[in-house]
Amino acid sequence: MNEQQIAYRIRQHLNRGLGLDAGKLARLKAAREQALARQRVQSAIPILAWAGNVIGKSGGPSTLVPRVLLPMVVLILGLTAVNHWRDSQLAAELEEIDAAVLTGDLPLDAYLDKGFDAWLKRPSY
Amino acid sequence: MAKAAFVLTLWLCTSLSVLAATPPKHLPTWSELTTDQRRTLAPLAEDWDNFEPDRKRRWIGIAKRYPNMKPDEQARVQRRMQAWAKLTPKERDAARARYKKMEKLPPEKKEGLKEKWEEYNRLPEQERRKLGSTPRKPPTTAQKARPPAIASPEQPAPPEVAPAPGPGR
């Protein structure tokens, strides 16, 4: 009898009902609850378990700094620098535009008037 | 040990992220500005302390450019500053987008923009409305009463745009 056949037989038995007495049912219930409680404790710290696995595979804590920590710190510092550079570029561009709008020949209304914008788009212009 | 190292890495990442997100330095309140900055930015005195750091930084940048501007440019900045600051962020963004678009025009067309604006203003209002123009609001009493902070060679002109109240950049 292979595994599938056993599973089929068990299912049939379960479908018919086991007809267990109250004592056995209570013991089964207690065992199930105990198993679930253990399962919850394990799943509460999966990230640490994962970290343990990763570090274990990478050669243990002695290689943690060069293999994991250092690249991570470099990556974060790099991203921070790029972000900072992008923000300062944008700020400089906005300042440049504001200064030009404030000092230019055209009054502010010319930049705010949708009609003027549309009028400039005429094919004749 | 491994867990402790992982927690340390997480802490390091969080700290660096927080550091990156924190504004690098305190931006001055109105009273903390230098005398020159206060003189240049005088039309913004009332609103300055409510500005976000980015806006303050931008205005400080403009105040820094101010001494190198020509007298007529300085006068324009003085006239337009408050109206620009009172626009909503959306209006300012739209104006910047139009400025960028106009900047891309060929030089001969860019030269003639002032004349085009005057020509456009001579159109009957109904026609301008059809093109999408909205009626311009008259300047507020407060603005009329406020003299320019720096004596300009020209006669002080009325604000060139009707401000709309609102915060933002």
DSSP B104-121: TS-HHHHHTHHHHHHHHH
The SS3 of residue B157 is: coil
Q: B138 pLDDT exceeds 90?
A: no
Q: B53 pLDDT exceeds 90?
A: yes
Average pLDDT estimate for B86-109? 93
- A94 vs B147, which has greater pLDDT? A94
Hey, which of A66-80, B8-22, B138-152 has the most confident mean pLDDT? A66-80
Cβ contacts of B120 on chain A, cutoff 8 Å = 113, 115-116, 119
Q: B128 pLDDT exceeds 70?
A: yes
Q: Distance (Å) from the C-alpha of residue B31 to the closest C-alpha of chain A?
A: 23
% pLDDT > 90, chain B: 50
What residue in A sits closest to B91 (Cα-Cα)? A112
Average pLDDT estimate for A102-123? 90
Rounded to the nearest integer, the mean pLDDT of chain B is 78
Q: The whole model's pTM is what?
A: 0.60
Among B56, B34, B57, B60, which Cα is nearest to B47's? B56
Q: Distance (Å) from the C-alpha of residue A74 to the closest C-alpha of chain B?
A: 10
**Least-confidence region, from A53-67, A84-98, B45-59, B117-131:** A53-67
Phi, psi of A119 (to 5 degrees): -65, -40
Q: Distance (Å) from the C-alpha of residue A87 to the closest C-alpha of chain B?
A: 10
* Predicted local distance difference test score (pLDDT) of residue A44: 61
DSSP state, residue B137: P
Q: B157 pLDDT exceeds 70?
A: no
Token reading at B161: 């745009």
- Which among B12, B17, B95 is the nearest to A111, CB-wise? B95
Q: A65 pLDDT exceeds 50?
A: yes
